[in-house]
Amino acid sequence: MGALIAAEIGGIALAALAGWLVLLARWLKGRPAAGSWLAGLRHVPRRYLVDVHHVVARRPAAARMHALAAGGVLSGAVMALPAGLLGAGRIVWALAALAFGIGGIGALLVWRRRVPRSPPGLSGGAFLWLPAALAAWCVGNGLAALFMAVGAPALPVVLAVLLGGAGGVGLLRLVALGPMRHALAGVAWLAGHTRPGRFTGRDTALRPLDLVAPRLGVLVPADFLAPELAGFDACIQCGRCEEACPAFAAGQRLNPKALIQTLSAAMRVAPAAYAGRPAPGAPVMDGKGGMARPIVGNVLHRDSLWACTTCRACVEECPMLIEHVDAVVALRRGQTLMLGAVRDGAAQALQASRERAEPGGRDLAARGDVLATLDVPVLPPGGETGILLWLGEGAFDARYGRTLRALVTLMRQAGLRFATLGADEVDCGDLARRLGDEATFQALAAEAIGALKARRFAKIVTADPHALHVLRNEYPALGGQWTVQHHTGLLDELVRDGRLRLERRQGGSVAYHDPCYLGRYNGEIDAPRRLLDAACGGRVEMARHGMKAMCCGGGGGGPASDIDAVTRIPDLRMEQARAAGAGVVAVACPGCTAMLEGVTGPRPEVRDVAELVLAAVVAS
């Protein structure tokens, strides 16, 4: 009888392994990734149990369900299989029965998840069969193990094995043809994750593209890296990404879950139907999939690609650690570099970046005009200074000029020695890179690195988190390595060292809006808050803050691409600030400033952290 159980479980396991190999063969049609995929397998248990669990556990109910269901199904099988094959005592069978029983409770929780009411972020379709299949597998095999443990006659065992086998076949079907391939793909994706740095620290920089490669970026599924393809299959459609996505919330034609599912389906000629929420308002793209068939405009709507603000909120929320933004940028690279198919506004910004080294097309010599009254020195090539102040694109904006003047005034008061690059400061290339124009990015980066290398300074300070991210995290791969600090970090340092003394100003409550490129991309969420606590009366938090903060809509070339929306992202964000009872929204990024200042009607005031600090500073 034990052999029968082992044959049933082993058969299902072997079939699953065969299914995994079929999937693997498909993923391997993608481009080879750097490093050994096989060697990565040794990391999988740790990545599953620590990193994945860390994200899953943000929702305890989901973590419980997952632990019970996946744990029970797997551990029961792992115990019953050798027990049946080698013959084992009743205790082992009892333990296996217990494990399957736990799995059964897990199946119940899986069922409860969508009954009586399914949360809108969850997909339906084949998922509705999952609790039944899980229950049949666990109950059938659990009873069989129990019967073995108590020494029951053959007939009940056979019936139980039949039930378990039916559940197993159901699970197999869901795995091989349906969404539960997540289980198999997840192992492969975690083994070959394209950002291994995430498991030891932070890894958010885009990788440089080899500009002489025949195919730049991604046009067809086979252009993705093989592990990335496994990553798309690893999506379990939990919908956490779409709940976090600002573009989705604003009604733009992007749903990160649908995007990943589309990319997964794009590999297949006859994919399983997607039963989650689609991208809002996007026409159905019913082109034929296949490894060598175009993705954009065929199975994926163009607007989905350009609506992304690259805010990484989806990546932050994804329990499978899928890299949505990498996929978006890879696709954008294909569209931009290979086809020139970008939105009009983005095309203008890219042309200006190419021809004027400034996405707004303005004269580089006019960047410093905003500081004209403050007489900030310009560092000539060969010169030396303490701090190099990188002004960024915001310097061309009159509103943001107030912020920069506040920062310079504070730096003066603290007695710092600093200078700017003057007309030698080109755009850092952030916009070009996020829009997929890696060629222009690398050209700008080379020029900026050259200008910086020609001067000596202790560190770079910038008020622009986008420039911060590019200079700090993305230039090293291109040969430029400096200490780069955000202005909130610098001011925090000055206040803590006592070089700036602040006196708390009373006034309306202040809510800090985290810039994505400072928070999620660089993990800096505390310094600005410390500053605000020292400078302002009451500080409140919006529901989404810190690493979970919502984007202002200004990143990733969003304003340049200007995708149709139902509401504007900054309007949504301002509404959240209002809901938190904020009288002032504190910002720390020129993009956020412009987007939030663009909200019309009565609303909380928008002030940069530097402005609020300047208002609170007292002579030391």
Partner 1 sequence: MRGVVLLSGGIDPVSGRPAVPRGEVAAIGLALSAGGAVGGLHVGEGSVAQRQAGGYGLERVDCLRGGGDAVAILAAHLSAPPPDLVLAGSRACGGEDSGMLPYLLAERLGWPLLAGVMAIGAVADGWLSVTIGLPLGARQEARIRLPCILCAHDAAPAPPFVFDRARRVVVRTVDVSDAPPVPVVEGVERPYRARPRLIGSAGPGGGGTVLENPEPAEAARVLLAHLRALGMLGSSEGASIDA
Partner 2 sequence: MTGRPRRDPRAERARCLVPGGVRPRLVRAGWDGVLTAEAGPRPPAVVCIEEPAFWVAAIVETPEGRPDRWGRQVLGAARVLAGAEGGVVALVTGVEAGHGVGEGGADRVVVLDIAIGPEAMPGVMLAALAPFAPRHVVMAETPAGGDWARRLAARSGWSIQAGIEMLNARQALRPVGAMRRERAAAPARVLTVPIDRVAPYGGMRREGRGCVPPDVPVLEARVQVGPVVLAQAAEMPLAEAPFVMAAGQGVRDFDSFHALSRFLGATEGASRVVCDAGLMPRGAQVGASGTVLDARCYLAFGIAGAPQHLQGLGKVEHVVAVNTDLHAAIVARAGLAIIADAQAVMPALLDLLREEG
Site residues, partner 1 (CB under 8 A)? 211-212, 216, 336-342, 347, 350-351, 354-358, 361-364, 437, 439-440
Q: What is the Cα Rg of the chain in Å?
A: 27
Which residue, 37 or 441, has its beta carbon nearer to partner 1? Answer: 441
Q: 17 is written with which tokens?
A: 């392994």
Verify binding: residue 602, partner 2, rule CB under 8 A.
no
Which residue, 447 or 575, has its beta carbon nearer to partner 1? Answer: 447
Partner whose footprint covers residue 88, from partner 2, partner 1, none (CB < 5 to 8 Å by kind): none
Site string for partner 2, 387-426 (x = CB under 8 A): -----------xx---------------------------
Answer for which of 71, 271, 538, 598 binds partner 2 (CB under 8 A) is 598
Torsion angle of C-alpha atoms 163, 145, 68, 162, degrees rounded to 10: -10
Which residue, 520 or 568, has its beta carbon nearer to partner 2? Answer: 568
Q: Fill in the DSSP letter of residue 519.
A: T
Shortest distance (Å) from residue 594 CB to partner 2: 8
Answer for which of 600, 602, 618, 619 binds partner 2 (CB under 8 A) is 600
Question: What is the β-pairing status of strands 605-608 and 384-390?
Answer: unpaired
Q: Which has the closest alpha carbon to 605: 517, 519, 513, 501?
A: 513
**For residue 311, how many C-alpha atoms fall within 13 Å in the half-sphere facing its CB?**
31
282 SS3 class: coil
Helices 2-27, 130-150: axis angle to 10 degrees equals 150
Task: Determine the size of the site formed for partner 2 (CB under 8 A).
Answer: 12
Q: Which has the closest alpha carbon to 586: 602, 568, 604?
A: 604
Given the structure tokens 């690493």, which residue do they identify?
A: 547
Q: 288 is written with which tokens?
A: 């034929």
Shortest distance (Å) from residue 429 CB to partner 1: 14
Q: Is-cis flag, bond preceding 131, omega within 30?
A: no
Shortest distance (Å) from residue 394 CB to partner 1: 19
CB distance 484 to 459 below 8 Å: yes
Shortest distance (Å) from residue 180 CB to partner 2: 42
Torsion angle of C-alpha atoms 264, 268, 273, 277, degrees rounded to 10: 30
Site string for partner 2, 537-576 (x = CB under 8 A): ----------------------x--x-x--xx--------
Q: Which has the closest alpha carbon to 444: 369, 349, 346?
A: 349
Which residue, 65 or 606, has its beta carbon nearer to partner 2? Answer: 606
Q: Which stretch binds partner 2 (CB under 8 A): 4-12, 17-25, 431-439, 591-599?
A: 591-599
Shortest distance (Å) from residue 216 CB to partner 1: 6
Helices 90-114, 130-150: axis angle to 10 degrees equals 160
Shortest distance (Å) from residue 242 CB to partner 2: 22
Partner whose footprint covers residue 568, from partner 1, partner 2, none (CB < 5 to 8 Å by kind): partner 2
CA 523 to chain centre: 13
Which residue, 31 or 362, has its beta carbon nearer to partner 2? Answer: 362
Shortest distance (Å) from residue 120 CB to partner 2: 24
**For residue 409, how many C-alpha atoms fall within 13 Å in the half-sphere facing its CB?**
18
Partner whose footprint covers residue 398, from partner 1, partner 2, none (CB < 5 to 8 Å by kind): partner 2
Q: How many residues does the chain have?
A: 620
- Element (DSSP H or E) covering residue 540: strand 539-540
Partner whose footprint covers residue 598, from partner 2, partner 1, none (CB < 5 to 8 Å by kind): partner 2
Rounded Cα distance, 156 and 423, in Å: 84
Q: Which stretch binds partner 2 (CB under 8 A): 7-15, 97-105, 416-424, 593-601?
A: 593-601
Which residue, 113 or 402, has its beta carbon nearer to partner 2? Answer: 402
Which residue, 109 or 349, has its beta carbon nearer to partner 1? Answer: 349
Answer for which of 594, 606, 612, 613 binds partner 2 (CB under 8 A) is 594
Site for partner 2 in 333-372 (CB under 8 A): 345
Partner whose footprint covers residue 358, from partner 1, partner 2, none (CB < 5 to 8 Å by kind): partner 1
Which residue, 353 or 403, has its beta carbon nearer to partner 1? Answer: 353
Partner whose footprint covers residue 354, from partner 2, partner 1, none (CB < 5 to 8 Å by kind): partner 1
Shortest distance (Å) from residue 448 CB to partner 1: 14
Rounded Cα distance, 111 and 130, in Å: 8
Q: Which has the closest alpha carbon to 106: 64, 57, 167, 168?
A: 64
Q: Which has the closest alpha carbon to 122: 107, 111, 132, 133?
A: 111
Residue 296: count of CB within 10 angstroms of its CB:
22
Partner whose footprint covers residue 364, from partner 1, partner 2, none (CB < 5 to 8 Å by kind): partner 1
Q: Which has the closest alpha carbon to 566: 121, 317, 254?
A: 254
Footprint of partner 2 (CB under 8 A): 345, 398-399, 559, 562, 564, 567-568, 594, 597-598, 600
